[in-house]
Structure 1
Amino acid sequence: MKKTRSHRYVFVTLLLVVAIAGMSQGLTLPLLSVLLEKSGVSTVANGVNAAALYIGILLVSPLMEIPLRKFGYRTTILLGLTLVSASSLLLPVFRGFAIWFVLRLLLGIGDMALHYSAQLWVNAIAPVERRGRYLSIYGFAYSAGFSFGPLGMLLVDYGIWAPFLAISVFYAAAFLMLIPLKNAYPETVEQTESRNNRYLDVLRLSWLALIPPFLYGYMESSLNVNFPVYAVRSGLSLDWVSILLPSFVVGSLVLQMPLGRWSDRAGRKKVMVLCAAVGAGCFLLLPLVSSQVWAMMILLALAGAFVGSFYTLGLAFAADILAPGLISTAGAIASIMFGIANLVAPSVNGYFLGTSMPGLMFYVLGGMLALFVALSFAFRRGGPQKIRTEEKVPHAM
């Protein structure tokens, strides 16, 4: 009973911390893109600058298991939060394309350390039969913070320092919540699981589960980096952008937890296929209503409701398939997939925005989700641990 209470306290603290991290990312991504756009930076260069965040994520993703196993969950999260806080507060101090590229690179490294450790800590304390619920609540907390982040752009009227000073108050709160936690460490890799081939084992056994992090990363980057530019060029004001942008995330809040609970009962794969199909339809329709703000808002909210939890559903699916010692490896690969997607999307979409058909960015996104649906029919379960959720585990509180 005491262990259960301890896990709940850790879980609640992680939810609050990840919500603050989401708020920070939700603010900095669109704000810096709009500021660079107004300063005359090209769409391709703007996308490259935004990609620095994900270059940082990609650079450290293969290495994150090392500090996590050596220092533990809490210490790694604190290190990541320190880097995120310092980099964010330096953004208004040193303004310019090159320095923002470096600071966004450091933001990506800190963000990777924070989220990688927090996700795996949540996965470690979650009961197997409620893994989907726990990870969906975690995703809900991040999405809630992320949805509030863009509203900080409204503070720019009081000076560029205003939104960053506001977010610094939340950083301080995150530190105060983390410090009292008792540190914990991930499970060790079993002797039968070779250190040299476990990455290949994870890819072979759970390749379908590792596609959703890529798709989620591509969606996140497309909407938060490129969509503000797309909207401004379509004649929308910055105020409208700050309202439209969170609609995807707010939509994800509606179904985040119900989808997690449903996936515990019906199976992760079935839920992800349905969500991908609905999301594909929404993104394919989006360019057709670019002149109708309310229609755009509805489609973004609907897409968010169904594919906004793709990352956590994919991670839960991988955890269902794999032995416990391989879950941290799956988390690292998922982060690499997420980083690659975020690295590719801004530049690709920046090119589309420079053509006569900027709506291509949404057609490509919809097409990738449709492709995931097709690939799901080729996936067959296997490996050291059968998927318990596919056996329809009864829901328990």
Structure 2
Amino acid sequence: MTSTALSASPFNRVLFILYGVSALAGMAVGLYNPIIAVMMKAAGYSDTAIGGASSLFFLCVILTAPLAGFLTQRISMRLALACGLVLAGTASCLFAYAQTGAEWFGYRGLLGAGIGLYLIGGQSAVNTFANDRNRTIVGGLHALCFGIGMGVGPILGTALYEVTAALAMFVCAGILFVGAPVVLIGLPVEVASKPRALRLAQIKRISLALHAVFAYGVAEAILMSLFPVFMLDRGYSMTTMSIAFSAFVVGGIISTVPLTKWADKAGQERVLAFCACVGVLGSLAMTLSTHPYIAMAASAVTGACLGPVFALALALLGRRLPKEDLAGGSAVFTAFFSLGSMVAPWLAALIMAQLGSLHIFTLSTLLFATLLVRLVVARPAVQQASGA
């Protein structure tokens, strides 16, 4: 471990590189997601096919997780990061020439595999080059940079798409390719360790982190896919829907740094319980509100509490596992997030079809409510495990 990694400051050369590459990756993800959907729609594919391609992306992230964990642990985090960026960039280039259904789905899967490698390598790097004094704030800044990139990506992508769709995908590829040499040159060389699978005892130690990130994946996927439609169905205008949606995103961006900084002092479990509690109440308010201003305010509060959950869960995982298990833990962590993102739109839509549109957040609310119960009821055990 380098002295850089042991610094209590969340700002040093290595961490700045991770933040910068995270922003590049977020920009690329924010760029290609809407552009690919528009390209497929223009090519005549149904909404079902477009949704299936999106689910395939997360499925390939899950399928790549064991390989990414092995590569990160056995060879190098730098290599996993760089390979993921290059693979995703290559898929972006290929999208510019996609014509058949097999090509659309194949390149989407390749993109998912590349992003899976990047995510797992990046999460392992964050926990490796952080420490218990700054672990949560480092994860929060890493997630914040990714989120800012995702916010810039659609704006850039829309401007480029108006010129030509191929240009948008080539620029996306260029953004990803830039990150590869930065990672290979800028990150320190780690000593490879013998790969080992997580034992059941280790899985139990990080079960709270896995629960939290699965719930986060579910909530984010429902918000992205179903919340705009829900708002419009309730009679809200397009402007109100856009503001409420933006309020959720902005709330998460604003709260990430202060809440993760608080978690480094008060403990990830305590802040996670606070976020779960307010997130549940905020989700209920978003669903039941009949006034647009209440819906906007509830959206902002909910986003502020749920936005930092990913970073809190990742930091909790990093604190609960020894260094040699971080790669395997990050692979499982990413798989749980991707699984939640993949199944949420289908399950939430099924619940809404059976119980009504007011139950849009019922699935995510139940997941966060049970997480809160686990954190409160098992608090002595959690504190004992933290000190183990």
Short-chain TM bin: 0.7 to 0.9
List per-residue Cα deviations over 1:331-389 (Å, max 9, x = no partner): 1221121121122113224546767834433232223222211222343566999536x
Alignment partners' CA distance in 2, 1:358 and 1:135: 35
**362-371 or 310-319, which moves further after superposition?**
362-371
Alignment partners' CA distance in 2, 1:259 and 1:382: 23
Query: Is residue 104 of structure 2 the alignment partner of residue 100 of structure 1?
Result: yes
The 5 A counterparts of 1:114-129 are 114-129=118-133
Gaps of 5+ in 1: 391-397
Once the two structures are TM-superposed, the CA of residue 70 in structure 1 deviates from its matched residue by 3.2
Counterpart selection for 1:170 from 175, 198, 202: 175
Alignment partners' CA distance in 1, 2:287 and 2:68: 38
Distance 1:5 1:315, change over 3 A: closer
Task: Give the TM-score normalised by structure 1.
Answer: 0.82
Once the two structures are TM-superposed, the CA of residue 114 in structure 1 deviates from its matched residue by 0.7
Paired residues, what number?
382
List per-residue Cα deviations over 1:29-66 (Å, max 9, x = no partner): 34444665687766554432211111011101133221
Alignment partners' CA distance in 2, 1:358 and 1:378: 32
Query: Is residue 60 of structure 2 the alignment partner of residue 61 of structure 1?
Result: no
Identity of aligned residues (%): 24
The 5 A counterparts of 1:366-377 are 366-377=365-376
Q: Which residue of 2 aligns with 1:395?
A: none
List per-residue Cα deviations over 1:299-329 (Å, max 9, x = no partner): 3332221111212211211222233322322
Alignment partners' CA distance in 2, 1:49 and 1:239: 29
**45-54 or 105-114, which moves further after superposition?**
45-54
Once the two structures are TM-superposed, the CA of residue 285 in structure 1 deviates from its matched residue by 2.6
Query: Is residue 152 of structure 2 the alignment partner of residue 148 of structure 1?
Result: yes
Alignment partners' CA distance in 1, 2:372 and 2:132: 26
Whether the 8 Å contact between 1:30 and 1:224 is mirrored in structure 2 is no
List per-residue Cα deviations over 1:168-201 (Å, max 9, x = no partner): 44234323422422553367369xxxx46x3312
Q: Which residue of 1 aligns with 2:363?
A: 364
The 5 A counterparts of 1:198-347 are 198-227=198-227, 230=230, 245-288=245-288, 292=292, 296-347=295-346
Alignment partners' CA distance in 1, 2:303 and 2:21: 22
Q: Which residue of 2 aligns with 1:74?
A: 78
List per-residue Cα deviations over 1:54-100 (Å, max 9, x = no partner): 10111011332211123311111110001111212333431565533
Distance 1:173 1:233, change over 3 A: farther
Question: Secondary structure at 2:360's aligned position in 1?
Answer: helix
Distance 1:228 1:171, change over 3 A: farther
The residue type paired with residue 273 of structure 1 is: A
Once the two structures are TM-superposed, the CA of residue 271 in structure 1 deviates from its matched residue by 0.3
Alignment partners' CA distance in 1, 2:33 and 2:375: 32
* RMSD over aligned Cα atoms: 3.5
Alignment partners' CA distance in 2, 1:364 and 1:152: 33
Query: Is residue 26 of structure 2 the alignment partner of residue 22 of structure 1?
Result: yes
Alignment partners' CA distance in 2, 1:289 and 1:96: 45
Whether the 8 Å contact between 1:65 and 1:328 is mirrored in structure 2 is yes
Whether the 8 Å contact between 2:71 and 2:77 is mirrored in structure 1 is no
Once the two structures are TM-superposed, the CA of residue 127 in structure 1 deviates from its matched residue by 2.6
Question: Secondary structure at 2:186's aligned position in 1?
Answer: coil
The residue type paired with residue 107 of structure 1 is: L
Whether the 8 Å contact between 2:273 and 2:376 is mirrored in structure 1 is no
The residue type paired with residue 362 of structure 2 is: Y
Alignment partners' CA distance in 2, 1:346 and 1:369: 17
Alignment partners' CA distance in 1, 2:351 and 2:163: 34
Whether the 8 Å contact between 1:124 and 1:186 is mirrored in structure 2 is no
Alignment partners' CA distance in 2, 1:248 and 1:379: 30
The residue type paired with residue 362 of structure 1 is: F
Distance 1:137 1:36, change over 3 A: same
Query: Is residue 180 of structure 2 the alignment partner of residue 181 of structure 1?
Result: no
Alignment partners' CA distance in 1, 2:370 and 2:6: 42
Q: Which residue of 2 aligns with 1:160?
A: 165
Gaps of 5+ in 2: none
Whether the 8 Å contact between 2:225 and 2:345 is mirrored in structure 1 is yes
Task: Give the TM-score normalised by structure 2.
Answer: 0.84
Once the two structures are TM-superposed, the CA of residue 160 in structure 1 deviates from its matched residue by 2.8
